[in-house]
Structure 1
Amino acid sequence: METVRAAEAALAARLPDGALMERAAAGLAAACCSLLGRGRVYGARVVLLVGSGDNGGDALHAGARLARRGAGTTAILLGTRAHGGGLAAFRAAGGRVAEDPYEALAAADLVLDGVTGIGGRGGLRPEAVPVARAARGSDAVVVAVDLPSGVDADTGEVAGEALRADATVTFGTYKPGLLIDPAREYAGALRLVDIGLGPHLPSVPDLEALQHQDVARLLPAPAAESDKYRRGVLGVVAGSARYPGAAVLAVAGALRGGAGAVRYVGPARDAVIAAHPETLVHEGPPDRAGRVQAWVVGPGTGEGPGAPVAVAEVLASDVPVLVDADGLRHLTPEAVRARTAPTLLTPHAGEAAALLGTERAGVEAGRLAAVRALAARYGATVLLKGSTTLVCGPGGTGPVRVNPTGTPWLATAGSGDVLSGLAGALLAAGLAPLDAASCAAYLHGLAARRASAGAGPITATEVAGHLRAAWQDVREP
């Protein structure tokens, strides 16, 4: 968060004293009015949890604005000192400091969490924990100031107890901790308040999140002279006697992801042809299957002796390769780094932990660090699947892309196989691995939202079936 602090300092130096905090407080108060309902501000009971830093000052100035609109405002002072100007403004507007914090919280309609800011580390301090629990246990709407207290703004980690918010009002730019799990789940609905930081922020951010127009610009579109080879032929090595469905789903993702043709190699040929008769099937080995522009290897290949051989043969090719699922078991950093063509790895947290030689819980608690470490160790682009899907370019440097689409219903068998085929098709079409992975995750998430209609169980087959509609949503919103 040093870049945010530097931007705030540069902007504050050009403004009258206190003006930047007033900008933030104005946006925060407006968001609170919206959450309360415009007609319910007068007489509403608002409680501020005030720490020692600037977030506490933001909360106090916002509380003063709400008090002037008729809300009953009470501050609970949790730090060693409160922001002087903010506390003076709050009291001048009629706000009061609570004598009994739990009595105030029990009657609150809205709680403003201004305990810690972007510099907070290691969870809430012990003295703040019971108050935070009382706030969360009340019937009040909890609104975090800039980010929920107790989460790590830089990494999205939650190392101790944190206060879960219903909504977070953040200032100037989104912080990584608002976008990456596990902290993201503490943030609730996000609202960004523009306080003028834009010109003072670095041109290359730590995180990126693609939007419809970004994906539309990257997606391939056939021209009049296109044929199946120009559109991209994807080779797929997937499935086994035990997991034939993985091959069917990977091929489905590829065909509905725009591949001009799919060459399938593996023991699930009959199942693939039955489901997708347009597939070109081959006995193998992969290097004799015919010309391809990219390979996908690993979904459902199991633990048989043929799997490591297939991975080695595909890695020996001179085209982009996506390695997923069982294929990840047979990788070494040396084999991937020796390739002349790019490699894309698509592990979930458990597979990432195995590749890094660590525990799954560590990956889930520190997803940003894990995806960078994997990309650096293997010299490959990495798509780390999960509740927050992250994509990092080879070497672990540069912005990490956070996928903003999806639904918890995507946690279903086979959905990763569909994603592999989709990303592979985009690789075969010529997209760089970072773009192919990011666009695939984006479309995959949109398709899942369509399949679930926002609130229902889905299957991987249904996700694949909605990829065409997701593509259309992006190209013609």
Structure 2
Amino acid sequence: MRLLTREQSQDLDRFAMDKFGISGVDLMRSAGRKVAEAAQHQVADILDSQILILCGKGNNGGDGFAAAFTLHKQGFNIQVHSLVEQKLINGDSSHFFEKCMQTGCSISFGMELPDFSDPDIIIDGLLGTGFRNELKPEFLPWIDLINNSGAFVISIDIPSGLDCNSGLISPTAVRANKTITMGFVKVGLCLAHGKDHSGSIEPVDIGFPSIATMNQEGLSWNQIDKTDIPSLLQSPATNTYKHKQGKVLIVAGSEGMTGAAVLATYGALRSGAGLTVTCAPSSLNNVYEKYILEGMTLSCDDEERGYLTMNNFDQIVDKSEWADSIIIGPGLGTNSETIKLIKALVHSIKKPVILDADGLQCYSELSGDLEKLIVTPHLGEFSAMIQHPINEITSHFISIVTRFMSGFRGTAVIKHVPACICQGKQVSLNSSGNPALATAGTGDVLSGMIGTFCAQGMDGYNACRLATYVHGKAADQLSQAIGKRGMIASDLPAEVAAVIGKYEQE
């Protein structure tokens, strides 16, 4: 599903009007009708329903007036309140405001809260996609009124107070039950706080031209959902065997963090890898052998240090010739000698490499052709990679990712909320997953899954899209059974297999 940024939405409006001659009034009329339809559906079974429509300035308020005009014509009991004084309503909004006045709509004005009767529905047209930064204090009582009303809330295009690009709120935003968004879903509805504030999101056609006819600036933002998975995930061929199901080499683990190696290995195996080899510091090999039953291990002499160093380089590179993909990083530790090894492996191996966790510490020192490299940072790791504070990344996520991808030729899985998969000009936001994944080791499982799908011949972008969605879906199913607080990373691999199994049966 295609998503648009604030700037791309504005470009689409201009494109529709300048190149196709579609007037702003026509777009607003269509938007108002779609909002009115949503309200009609919601009150269908309510006797003597009351609908309150709150209108701010600009097109968002204009869409509210257009919806009010439609609902009033159809005989619904509506109350309209404009935060903008009558003499200041202008542009296309004034067209529908005048229609409301001419047909006798009840309209009040001003920033002070009137005493509204208890509405069944509130239509939120206060602030639209142009809102950014922090809510002005005078809007706070209105947001509180909406959120504490007990009414069913329909937001126009985006909940008021939610940033269209970042998905952040400051300090609050409308919590909608439904968001009617014009043409395309906005990126901020899916990022950060967006999911919690948007309710069910319904993109509606208001007459925009095909976006394919536009030459849009910036990255192409999309969302991956369950409808995308069947084209990416097919059942294994009847005559396959383990060497054709993908061979994954896993360079992971150190003293105190052997669990990361085990989790990455089972992430790979449970997502369908035919064979895995996990490189183990020799002093810890017994631990690996004990817990990795179905995978093989490669004992690497560590002179009892408990971590891998450049002394292990030749042995690991030789083994990489056997593998179809290589995972480097989970639990490897931060020893300087280990970091040197990671850097040398990335520069030497010419197969798909998934660089995760501790492996990312050498990112700033990498050079050359990194087209086959997949990096999987959470926000803290991404912050260290690009030398920007986390709050700056989340506030300016779109521009920072755009700048990062302009200089990186590989694939990135940036573990924001939700995970964002980036390659070239394409970005996919994941639609599955929940806070249960905020626990140690879940990223190790994900790296193993990506390794498997790459080993089976999938390109990096689609391997990451598929792995991230299935990983999140497994967490969704587990959290329904055992709750979000109780899920741990080792619960995931078997559930990953169950999710994949359902798609194989379809």
Give, in whole Å, the separation in 2 of the partners of 1:10 and 1:378. 31
Q: Following TM superposition, by how much is the alpha carbon of 1:14 offset from its aligned partner in structure 2, in angstroms? A: 5.2
Q: Of 181, 188, 196, which residue of structure 1 is paired with 2:192? A: 181
1:58 Cα deviation after fit: 1.2
| Aligned twin of 1:466 | 495
Summarize the alignment of residues 200-279 of structure 1 with structure 2, pairs less than 5 Å apart: 200-201=211-212, 202=214, 206-219=220-233, 221-267=235-281, 268-279=284-295
Instruction: Give the C-alpha shift of residue 224 in structure 1.
Output: 4.5
Residues 412 and 203 of structure 1: CA distance in aligned 2, closer, same or farther (over 3 Å) = farther
1:342 matches 2:372: yes
2:468 is the counterpart of 1:427: no
Distance change >3 Å, CA 425–CA 297, structure 1 → 2: same
| Residue 59 of structure 2: aligned partner | 54
The answer for the alignment partner of 2:3 in structure 1 is: none
- Aligned partner of residue 111 in structure 1, secondary structure: strand
Q: What letter is aligned with 1:314? A: L
Give the C-alpha shift of residue 15 in structure 1: 5.6
State the SS of the aligned residue for 1:252.
Answer: helix
Q: Which amino acid aligns with 2:65?
A: L
1:382 Cα shift?
A: 1.0
The CA distance in 2 between the partners of 1:283 and 1:200, in whole Å, is: 54
Gaps of 5+ in 2: 1-5, 301-311
Corresponding residue for 2:125?
Answer: 114
Match of 2:388 in 1: 358
What SS does structure 1 have at the residue aligned with 2:210?
Answer: helix
| Deviation (angstroms), 1:404 | 0.9
Query: Is 1:438 equivalent to 2:465 in the alignment?
Result: yes
Aligned-pair identity in percent equals 27
Question: What is the SS of the residue equivalent to 1:283?
Answer: strand
User: What does residue 306 of structure 2 align with?
Assistant: none
2:376 & 2:342 partners in 1: Cα distance? 14
What is the match of residue 478 of structure 2?
451
Mapped pair 1:282 → 2:306: no
Change (3 A) 1:14 1:472: farther
**2-side partners of 1:117 and 1:340: how far apart?**
40
**What is the CA distance between 1:273 and its match in structure 2?**
3.2
1:143–1:167 CA contact under 8 A, matched in 2: yes
1:90 alignment counterpart: 100
Distance 1:361 1:327, change over 3 A: same
Q: Deviations over 1:265-313 (max 9, x none)?
A: 0235434433332211102332243511111111112223553144124
Name stretches of at least 5 consecutive residues in structure 1 with no aligned partner: none
What is the deviation of 1:390? Answer: 0.5
One-letter amino acid matched to 2:63 = D
Q: Which residue number corresponds to residue 140 of structure 2?
A: 129
3-state SS, counterpart of residue 254 of structure 2: coil
* Range moving further from structure 2, 245-254 or 42-51: 42-51
Question: Residues 377, 340 of structure 1: CA spacing in aligned structure 2 closer, same or farther, 3 A cutoff?
Answer: closer
Further displaced range: 450-459 or 461-470:
450-459
3-state SS in 2 of match to 1:300: coil
Q: From the superposition, tell whether residues 263 and 105 of structure 1 become closer, same or farther in structure 2 (CA, over 3 Å).
A: farther
Q: Which of 411, 414, 418 is residue 381 of structure 1 equivalent to?
A: 411
Report the secondary structure of 2:79's partner residue: strand
Rounded Cα–Cα distance in structure 2 between residues aligned with 1:406 and 1:203: 33
Post-superposition Cα deviations, 1:179-217, rounded to whole Å, max 9, x if no partner, equal: 222444332221121223252454877211223343322
Distance 1:171 1:427, change over 3 A: same
Match of 2:355 among 323, 328, 337: 323
> Which residue matches 1:22?
29
**Mapped partners of 2:119, 2:134: distance in 1:** 24
Q: Distance in 1 between matches of 2:494 and 2:435?
A: 18
Q: Is the Cα–Cα contact under 8 Å of residues 28 and 62 in structure 1 kept in the other structure?
A: yes
Query: Structure 2: how far apart are the matches of 1:455 and 1:163?
Result: 30
Once residues 200 and 373 of structure 1 are traced to their aligned partners in structure 2, the CA distance between those partners, rounded to angstroms, is 23
Q: Distance in 2 between matches of 1:311 and 1:328?
A: 9
Aligned partners of 2:248 and 2:324 also within 8 Å: yes
Cα offset, 1:77, TM superposition: 1.3
Q: CA deviation at 1:223?
A: 3.0
Whether the 8 Å CA contact 1:105–1:138 is kept in 2: the answer is: no
Distance in 1 (alpha carbons) for counterparts of 2:394 and 2:16: 36
* Aligned match of 2:330: 299
Cα pair 1:318 1:341 within 8 Å, conserved: no
| SS class of match (1:463) | helix
- How far off its partner does 1:453 sit? 2.2
The CA distance in 2 between the partners of 1:474 and 1:105, in whole Å, is 50
CA distance in 2, matches of 1:363, 1:6: 24
Q: CA deviation at 1:121?
A: 3.0
3-state SS, counterpart of residue 119 of structure 1: coil
Q: Distance in 1 between matches of 2:168 and 2:463?
A: 27
Q: Say what the alpha-carbon RMSD is for the aligned residues.
A: 2.7
Measure, in 1, the Cα distance between the counterparts of 2:243 and 2:399: 38
Does residue 373 of structure 2 align to residue 368 of structure 1? no
1:413 aligns with 2:448: no
The CA distance in 2 between the partners of 1:355 and 1:158, in whole Å, is 26
- Describe the SS at the equivalent of 1:453: helix
The alpha carbon displacement at 1:346 in A equals 0.5
State the Cα distance separating 1:430 from its structure 2 match: 1.8
* Alignment partners' CA distance in 2, 1:377 and 1:33: 49
Paired residue secondary structure (2:440): coil
Q: How many aligned positions are there?
A: 470
User: Which of 33, 41, 45 in structure 2 is aligned with 1:39?
Assistant: 45
> Structure 1 residues 180 and 272, CA, compared in 2 at 3 Å: closer, same or farther?
same
SS in 1 for 2:431: coil
| Structure 2 residue 89 is the aligned partner of structure 1 residue 81 | yes
SS in 2 for 1:236: strand
1:95-114 Cα shifts (integer Å, max 9, x gaps)? 31236853445623322121
Q: Aligned partners of 2:234 and 2:317: how far apart in 1?
A: 26
- Counterpart position of 1:144: 155
| AA matched with 2:378 | H
Q: Contact 2:16/2:209 (CA < 8 Å) preserved in 1?
A: no
Matches of 1:323 and 1:380 in 2, distance apart? 11
Give the counterpart letter for 1:97 in structure 2.
I
**DSSP-derived class of the 2:38 partner:** helix
Asked if 1:4 is matched to 2:24, the reply is no
